[in-house]
Amino acid sequence: MTVEKKSTYGSIVVSEAAVASLAGGIITECYGVVGMSSKKVLKDGWAELLKKENYTRGVVVKRTDDGLVIDLYIIVSFGIKISEVVQEAQKKVKYMLEKSLSEPIADVNVFVQGVRVIG
């Protein structure tokens, strides 16, 4: 799945990995988000905190008739209202991706894989 745009100068193709990396970078800047997590929780129930170069392992990008659907797997900070963190993260990711890609974003689904104490 790629994002393709045609211009008078030629074609622009953005790979799924580039979209996933962009979405991962955006959500990790959101207040209350500790970092990205893998789509698969480790067998003992612990969520692995991903480094910047592995953000694509915590993002799933799908294309639908309405636009792109982004699934994000995150770890949030302890002591913060999770629903507020997720709502603000969804708004920011949707806005920034639509602005950057000029492509409609149908849904931004956020899956909280764990809670971490920072300190």
> What pLDDT is stored for residue 105 in this prediction?
94
How many structural domains comprise the chain?
Answer: 1
The answer to whether residue 36 scores a pLDDT higher than 90 is no
Arithmetic mean of pLDDT, 10-32: 92
pLDDT at position 44: 45
Indicate the average pLDDT of the chain.
Answer: 86
Domain CATH for 83: 3.30.70.1350
Query: Hey, what long-range contacts does 18-21 have (CB within 8 A, 24 or more apart)?
Result: 19/59, 19/61, 19/68, 19/70, 19/97, 19/101, 20/55, 20/56, 20/59, 20/60, 20/61, 21/55, 21/56, 21/59
How much is the pLDDT for 50?
A: 66
Which pTM was predicted?
0.84
Range of the domain at 25: 3-116
Q: Which of 1-10, 52-61, 86-95, 100-109 has the lowest mean pLDDT?
A: 52-61
Q: For 62-80, what is each residue's pLDDT tens digit?
A: 999 999 999 999 999 999 9
